Chains A and B, each alone.
Chain A
Amino acid sequence: MRQKIWSNLPAFAPQAVVTDHLSIANVRGWRLREPSSGRRYTVLRLETRGGLVGFGEGGPATGAEIGEAKAAAMGRRPNETEFIRHRLAATPAMEAAVNCAFLDLLGKSTKTPVYQFLGGPTRFKARVLAHLEGDATIEQAVKQGFKAFTMPLPSRDSLWRMQAYVDAVLARVARARGLAGADMDFVLDAAGALTPGDAAMLATVLEKHHLMWLDEPTTVLTNDGLARIAEESVMPIGLGRSVTDIATFQNLLRWGSIDLLRPSLGLNSLSKIKRMAAIAETHYVAVAPYHNGGPIATAAGIHLAASLPNFFIQQIPFPTSERDAAMRAELTSGSVETVKDGFAPLRNRPGLGIDVSESALDRYSEERV
Chain B
Amino acid sequence: MRRREMLGALAAASALGQSPKRKSGIGCECAFAPPAAFPPGSQVFKDVGSKLRITDMKVFGVTLDEKIARADRPYVFVKIETNQGVVGWGEATLEGKAGAAMACVNDLRDFIVGSDPMQSEHLYQLMYIGSFYRGGPVLGSAISGIDQAIWDIRGKVFGMPVYELLGGPVDSRGVRGYYHAAAWTLEEARVLRDKTREAGVTALKFQLPDLLEWVETNRKLTRAVKHMEMLRQGLGPDIDFAVDFHARPSPTVAAIILREIEPFHLFFAEEICPPENIRAMQRAARKSTTPLATGERLIAAYGYNDLIDLGVVDVLQPDIAHVGGITALWKVAAAADAAGIRMAPHACEGPVGGIASLHVDAAIPNFLAQEICGLMEAGEMNRVWEDLMGFAAMRMRDGRYPLPTKPGLGFEVSEVALKKYPFQGTRPFPPAFHEDGSLASL
A185 engages B214 (CB within 8 Å): no
Instruction: Determine if B277 and A284 form an interchain contact, defined as CB atoms under 8 angstroms apart.
Output: yes
A30 within 8 A of B: no
For chain A, residues 303 to 348, give those with C-beta under 8 angstroms from any C-beta of chain B: 309-313, 343
Please measure, in the bound complex, the distance between the C-alpha atom of A184 and the C-alpha atom of B219, giving whole angstroms.
8
**A183 close to B439 (CB less than 8 A):** no
Please tell me if B280 contacts chain A, counting CB pairs below 8 Å: yes
**A349 on interface, CB distance cutoff 8 Å:** no
With CB as the reference atom, state the residue of chain A lying closest to B281: A284
Inter-chain contact total with CB atoms closer than 8 Å: 89
**Max chain B Cβ within 10 angstroms of own Cβ: one of A177, A212, A284, A310:** A284
* A interface bracket (residues with beta carbon within 8 Å of B): 35 or more
Give chain B interface residues in 244-303, CB to chain A under 8 Å: 250-253, 255-256, 258-260, 273-274, 276-277, 279-280, 282-283, 286-287
Cross-chain contact A256 with B215 (CB below 8 angstroms): no
Which segment, of A80-88, A119-127, A161-169, A267-275, faces chain B? Answer: A119-127
Of the four ranges (under 10, 10 to 19, 20 to 34, 35 or more), the interface on chain B belongs to: 20 to 34
A182 contacts partner chain B, Cβ-Cβ < 8 Å: yes
- Given A124-B437, A212-B215, A310-B214: A285 touches B250 (CB 8 Å cut-off): yes
In the bound complex, CA of A333 to CA of B436 (Å):
27
Q: Does B213 lie at the interface of the complex (its beta carbon under 8 Å from any beta carbon of A)?
A: yes
A234 within 8 A of B: yes
Tell me if A234 and B438 are in contact (CB < 8 A): no
Known A-B contacts A208-B260, A234-B255; the reply to A183 vs B219 at CB < 8 A is: yes
Nearest CB on B from A246, distance (A): 18
Cα distance, A288 to B252, chains bound together (Å): 14
Kindly identify which residue among A184, A207, A282 contacts B256, using a CB–CB cutoff of 8 Å: A207
Most buried by A among B219, B282, B283, B286: B283
The residue that B439 contacts in the complex, of A207, A259, A309, with Cβ under 8 A, is A309
Residue B18, interface by CB 8 Å: no
Is A265's beta carbon under 8 Å from chain B? Answer: no
Q: How far is the CA of A258 from the CA of B287 in the complex (A)?
A: 15
| Chain A residue at smallest Cβ distance from B253 | A236
Which of these, B250, B438, B439, contacts A284 with CB under 8 Å? B250
Say yes or no: B439 contacts A283, CB within 8 Å: no
The reply to whether B436 and A127 contact each other, CB–CB distance below 8 Å, is yes
CB of B358, distance to nearest CB on chain A (Å): 34
A213 CB within 8 Å of chain B: yes
| B217 on interface, CB distance cutoff 8 Å | yes
Determine the residue in chain B with the shortest Cβ distance to A256.
B283
Give, as a whole number of angstroms, the nearest-CB distance from A151 to chain B: 13
**Residue contact B214 to A285, C-beta cutoff 8 Å:** yes
Closest to B256 in A: A234
Whether the Cβ atoms of B256 and A210 lie closer than 8 Å is yes
Q: At the interface, yes or no: A94 with Cβ under 8 Å from chain B?
A: no
Partner of A182, one of B214, B219, B439: B219
Cα distance, A148 to B216, chains bound together (Å) = 12
* Bound CA span A121–B439, Å: 11
Indicate if A286 sits at the interface (CB-CB under 8 A).
yes
Counting CB contacts under 8 A, is B222 at the interface? Answer: yes
CA distance A283 to B278 in the complex (A): 9
Chain A residues whose CB sits within 8 angstroms of the CB of B283 once the complex forms: 230, 256
Most A Cβ at <10 Å: residue of B213, B215, B217, B274: B215
Q: Is the CB–CB distance between A125 and B213 below 8 Å? A: no
Q: Which residues of chain B from 31 to 67 have a CB within 8 Å of any chain A CB?
A: none
Given contacts A182-B219, A185-B217, A208-B260, contact A285 B252 (CB under 8 A): yes
Q: Give every chain B residue within 8 A of A183 (Cβ-Cβ).
A: 217-219
Q: Is there contact, CB below 8 Å, between A123 and B260?
A: no
Instruction: Contacts A259-B215, A260-B215 given; indicate if A282 touches B277 (C-beta within 8 A).
Output: yes
CB of B221 within 8 Å of the partner chain: yes
Q: Given the complex, which residues of B lie within 8 Å of A207, measured CB to CB? A: 256, 259
* Max chain B C-beta neighbours (<10 A), residue from A177, A185, A283: A283
Known: A182-B222, A210-B256, A236-B252. A286 touches B215 (CB 8 A): yes
Question: CB distance B213 to A256 under 8 Å?
Answer: no
- Whole-angstrom distance between the Cβ of A346 and the nearest chain B Cβ: 10
Let me know if A210 and B438 touch, CB within 8 A: no
Q: Is the CB of B215 within 8 A of A126?
A: no
In the complex the two chains form, what is the Cα distance from A324 to B215 in whole Å? Answer: 31
- Nearest to A258 among chain B residues (CB) is B252
Chain A 184-204: CB-based contact to B (< 8 A → 1; otherwise 0): 110000000000000000000
Q: Which residues of A contact B439 (CB under 8 A)?
A: 122, 309
Which residue of chain A is the closest to B251 with respect to CB atoms?
A284
User: In the complex, are the beta carbons of B287 and A283 less than 8 A apart?
Assistant: no
Shortest Cβ distance from A24 into chain B, in angstroms? 34
User: Which chain A residues lie closer than 8 Å to B252 at the CB level?
Assistant: 236, 259-260, 284-286
Chain B nearest CB, measured from A306 CB (Å): 9
How far is it, in angstroms, between the C-alpha of A184 and the C-alpha of B222 when the chains are bound? 13
The listed residue (B217, B434, B436, B438) touching A212 by CB distance below 8 A is B217
Task: Find out whether the CB atom of B436 lies under 8 angstroms from the CB atom of A286.
Answer: no
Chain B residues with Cβ below 8 Å from A210 are 217-218, 221-222, 256
Q: A124: shortest Cβ distance to chain B, in Å?
A: 4
Contact of B436 among A123, A177, A259, A260 (CB under 8 A): A123
The residue that B277 contacts in the complex, of A236, A283, A311, with Cβ under 8 A, is A283
Asked whether, in the complex, the Cβ of B437 is within 8 Å of the Cβ of A123, the reply is yes
In the complex, A282 Cα to B277 Cα: how many Å?
A: 7
What are the nearest 4 A-B pairs in CB distance? Answer: A286-B214, A210-B218, A123-B438, A284-B250
Q: Can you offer 13 A-B residue contacts whose CB atoms are under 8 A?
A: A122-B439, A177-B218, A182-B222, A183-B217, A183-B218, A210-B218, A212-B215, A213-B215, A259-B215, A285-B252, A286-B215, A312-B213, A312-B214
**B residues touching A (Cβ–Cβ < 8 Å)?**
213-219, 221-222, 250-253, 255-256, 258-260, 273-274, 276-277, 279-280, 282-283, 286-287, 434, 436-439
5 more CB-based (< 8 A) A-B contacts, given A207-B256, A210-B222, A259-B250: A122-B437, A182-B222, A212-B217, A236-B256, A286-B250
